[in-house]
Amino acid sequence: MTGRRQPRPSSGAEPDLFALADPVIEPPRGASEPIVSIAGEYPGESARSAVAVSVLTQTARDVIEGAFIPLWVRGEISDFKSHRNGHWYFCLRDSTAQIRCVVWKRDQRGIPAPPDDGMQVAAYGRLTVYAARGEMQYTVTRLEAEGDGLRRKALEITRARLEADGLLAPERKRPLPRFPRVIAVVTSPDGAALHDIISVVRRRGADVRLVVVPAAVQGQTAPEELCFAMDQVNRWGGADLVIVGRGGGAREDLWAFNDERVARAVAACHAPTISAVGHEIDISICDLVADLRAATPTAAAEAATASRAELAAELRKLSLRMHGAVRAGVRERADALRHLGRDLAGAAGAHVAGRRGALQGVATRLHALSPVATLARGYAVARDADGATLSSVAAFRPNMAFDLVVRDGVVPAIVQPSPNGDVA
């Protein structure tokens, strides 16, 4: 064997089998023996130059990995296992063939949810050789299920977890402030959503500050950026309302708003939140945890702010109520006064009339008794100088002056001398 165990020259006219890799210079992992090289033979040509198993599998691996570019492969999932080490293992099969697949833990972030057995999927990955078992293995980095099955599954899982934590409970919903002064808007600084929100707020003449907290709303970094922005809003603490969202887009573009971390960040917000993910049909996970779900950013801005016209109308209404109430109050009092006055006058009048009646009665009676009335009927009264009534012949003496009171005056009179010198 001496002399046969020489390293294969790193260059030269060796067979092409080693052109893809150079096992001598870089001994294969786990290879216990170096390549046995025999002059005039390529490794493995005879029993004497047999290569180690690890050399075979490593070589196969190098060939296969070099020959295939990453591909999408479709098939049905079976034997899915999520291993303790965090990696996923399953078979992808069709009616006649199957291949073992693995999704490394680090690659799972781009896959909405672990697949279920029986799911029809398309898997994107690279074909490789698992040397320890001498098996071909498909290393999958992206996975999509028919009918968006994985996303739906992911939504259900996330939803169930949030629900278990009580984050979807209706009693968690906080009322929005009617007149927010500072609204934080967590969205892309150059997206349509921000533009829509600003124009609505301006149009409504709302007295408000919009503070933009920028975050990517789609792409790989979107969930982290949205979480970070929500965290900034919390640490800042200056907003009394938060709108988080984006304009409409393809379903994949909206996916960040279904991310559990984003949902939890929204739920943890110190201020009431409005989610505005611009798609009317589907409801995102963010919509479920926000205090209010708006179908679009425009609707969110309308829900967030009162319009100047509405407020002016409200002020007018209040003004009318106040004026009305005061006028009614004054009128009521004026009426009361009038009534009182009328009552008083009435009472006084009745009193006077009563007196007047009584007076009349007395007057009539007085009148009836009055000597004047007697005089009026043609009688006369004789009175002496002292005014005493002379009612008998005995009261008269001849030549005596007296007054005769008649109906319309007094007549001076003298008693005639008696023919026989005496009063009769």
Partner 1 sequence: MSDTPAFEDRLARLEEIAGELEAEGIDLAHALALFEEGIENLRAAADELSRAEARVQRLVERADGTFDVVDPRE
Indicate the pairing of strand 292-294 with strand 273-277.
parallel
Site for partner 1, residues 129 to 188, rule: CB under 8 A: 178-179, 181, 184
Measured from the CB atom, is 166 or 238 closer to partner 1?
A: 238
Site for partner 1, residues 265 to 324, rule: CB under 8 A: 308, 311-312, 314-315, 318-319, 321-322
Measured from the CB atom, is 154 or 304 closer to partner 1?
A: 304
- Binder among 15, 110, 166, 189 for partner 1 (CB under 8 A): 189
Which amino acid is it at 290? Answer: A
- Binder among 111, 201, 266, 294 for partner 1 (CB under 8 A): 201
Cβ 296 to partner 1 shortest distance, Å: 19
**Does position 21 bind partner 1 by CB under 8 A?**
no
**Does position 352 bind partner 1 by CB under 8 A?**
no
Cβ 358 to partner 1 shortest distance, Å: 42
Using alpha carbons, select from 176, 171, 184, 249 the residue that is nearest to residue 215: 184
- Binder among 73, 91, 168, 211 for partner 1 (CB under 8 A): 211
Structure token digits, residue 341 = 């006055």
**Does position 190 bind partner 1 by CB under 8 A?**
no
CA 273 vs CA 141, 183, 315, 412: distances in Å: 35, 10, 28, 122
User: Which contacts of 31-37 are long-range, i.e. CB under 8 A and separated by 24 or more positions?
Assistant: 31/55, 31/58, 34/5, 34/7, 35/7, 35/8, 36/4, 36/5, 37/4, 37/5, 37/6, 37/7, 37/8
Site for partner 1, residues 237 to 256, rule: CB under 8 A: 238
CA–CA gap between residue 232 and residue 226 (Å, rounded): 10
**Does position 213 bind partner 1 by CB under 8 A?**
yes
Using alpha carbons, select from 180, 184, 243, 178 the residue that is nearest to residue 207: 180
**Does position 198 bind partner 1 by CB under 8 A?**
yes
Size of the site for partner 1 (CB under 8 A): 37
Cβ 177 to partner 1 shortest distance, Å: 8
CA–CA gap between residue 361 and residue 231 (Å, rounded): 103
Angle, CA of 26, 30 and 33, to the nearest 5°: 70
**Does position 202 bind partner 1 by CB under 8 A?**
yes
**Does position 123 bind partner 1 by CB under 8 A?**
no
Indicate the pairing of strand 241-246 with strand 273-277.
parallel
- Binder among 92, 111, 206, 262 for partner 1 (CB under 8 A): 206
Q: Which residues contact 137 (CB under 8 A, 6 or more apart)?
A: 99, 100, 101, 102, 127, 128, 129, 130
> Footprint of partner 1 on this chain (CB under 8 A)?
178-179, 181, 184, 189, 198, 201-202, 205-214, 232-233, 235-236, 238, 308, 311-312, 314-315, 318-319, 321-322, 325-326, 329-330, 333
